[in-house]
Structure 1
């Protein structure tokens, strides 16, 4: 067991796993609905993708609706990582069946699944929702086990990770998701508290992630040069005021044209955006 593991779970505190599962699906839907998102699929365009659209994502979400409830139940029961992984593998198969073999949510199945399980475990221990940062750190309860689990060396993300020597979501999870605790969640919380509506706050958070994260999807599609270009575009958008600036949507559409021309898509950042929305919503649910 990881050194940061928490004490044995009490048997008297019940967790509404179905509610956490619905929050997870709603968070993925919020990410899909958010627009404009450079290079990413929205309800209005397919971004840099020619093999998927919003309908593909909706079919995937429908296929995953039971997974997040199941993984929440497993987390609340202090299940071993092997059970969480089995749920994740089954969910990936369901996703691929629903999408005709297209990977829409593999990263979210891992990261959001772990966070849902951790949120459920924290609730069982404490009897109430945990702050977002605590949920991130609680993922380390399973760190020894998922660090040792086999990787799919053939996946585009893993190939990019090995080629460029950058950490992936597994390393982020083992560290308690510092990118969520220190960057994404604070950015999203600040944007919402300062009056931005949901889509604007999410776009602001997405561009902070693109600016600062070595997104494996960007590396896979554009190499180091493509990643650097995308990060520079995101930083320039933020320096102009980001989603707080008048006319920010037009600026983001212009950046999106450049992403599409270069076939770039920040899918890893999009997964982290959905995780950030879930972490905030579960605090008050």
Structure 2
């Protein structure tokens, strides 16, 4: 009898590879990834089931209500991707999902970034599935960049600068979420995914590997959430904190939780929250689930 290859890690967070994923399985993978991102701890300044981090207007229960409101969205947008929908159609689905989210959370923005990022990746997965093409390597990135990248950039030029991210991106000369998406999520595929895979390969459990991935993203991402809350000084502090954590061994050493917990408390004291990095962590977890 031939031995079956081992799958890593366990089934709770990373199930067996999805073979030609259906829209339903794509949607489920997106929701599971968002749940895993929420559950990871300690995460500097971010909401988890343990505490609300630097956020006084939301907690884990708020996120769970939001997730419930999105339960059909990622399946719908994967179906749209299977039908070769243009960006305008994807945008309409995202707007409707955002309205449901805000109704469920009583106006609190919990998953706007995920609706945008994971929505595009889910549509790309649907497109590849329909064409019977592999989701491995950077296939998802190529679809987002080549099919919808120009429309995303054009969408950005037409938006009024009313969101925190768009204001900060303009004021500090950084790209923000729109540039990340239109470029095919380079921080996900060049930073987040390699960090997650390496950490898992070194034996980290799913929670620890997610935290390691978050710190790797924090170290290099020009996070507009950090810029909004703390300016360039806040961003520099966050990046240096992440760099020091990783240089000390990250999650691959005894007592790493104490170090990460101390950084978390410093972020809360300074009212810092790396929301952009958290959005890309969720996107990384989603891509990993699809690729396994």
TM-score, structure 2 as length reference: 0.90
Mapped to 1, the partners of 2:159 and 2:118 lie a distance apart of 18
The 5-angstrom pairing of residues 124-143 of structure 1 reads 124-126=130-132, 129-140=134-145, 141-143=147-149
Mapped to 2, the partners of 1:152 and 1:205 lie a distance apart of 32
2:193 counterpart residue number: 185
Mapped to 2, the partners of 1:236 and 1:121 lie a distance apart of 40
TM-score, structure 1 as length reference: 0.92
**Structure 2 unpaired stretches of 5+:** 1-19
CA contact (8 A) 1:147 1:174 kept: yes
The 5-angstrom pairing of residues 51-70 of structure 1 reads 51-70=57-76
Q: Say how many residue pairs are matched.
A: 270
Residue 153 of structure 1 pairs with residue 158 of structure 2: no
CA contact (8 A) 1:132 1:280 kept: no
The 5-angstrom pairing of residues 227-242 of structure 1 reads 227-242=235-250
Residue 262 of structure 1 pairs with residue 270 of structure 2: yes
2:49 counterpart residue number: 43
Structure 1 residues 278 and 148 mapped into 2: Cα distance closer, same or farther (>3 Å)?
same
Residue 203 of structure 1 pairs with residue 232 of structure 2: no
1:9 counterpart residue number: none
The 5-angstrom pairing of residues 83-102 of structure 1 reads 83-102=89-108
Give the ranges of 4+ consecutive aligned residues of structure 1 lying more than 3 Å apart after TM superposition.
none
Aligned CA RMSD, in angstroms, stands at: 1.2
| 1:244 aligned to which of 252, 264, 276 | 252
Mapped to 1, the partners of 2:272 and 2:44 lie a distance apart of 8
Question: How far has the Cα of 1:114 moved from its partner?
Answer: 0.3
CA contact (8 A) 1:132 1:279 kept: no
Structure 1 residues 152 and 190 mapped into 2: Cα distance closer, same or farther (>3 Å)?
farther
CA contact (8 A) 1:112 1:275 kept: yes
Structure 1 residues 15 and 200 mapped into 2: Cα distance closer, same or farther (>3 Å)?
closer
Deviations 1:144-167 (A, max 9, x none): 212212325111111111111101
CA contact (8 A) 1:207 1:238 kept: yes
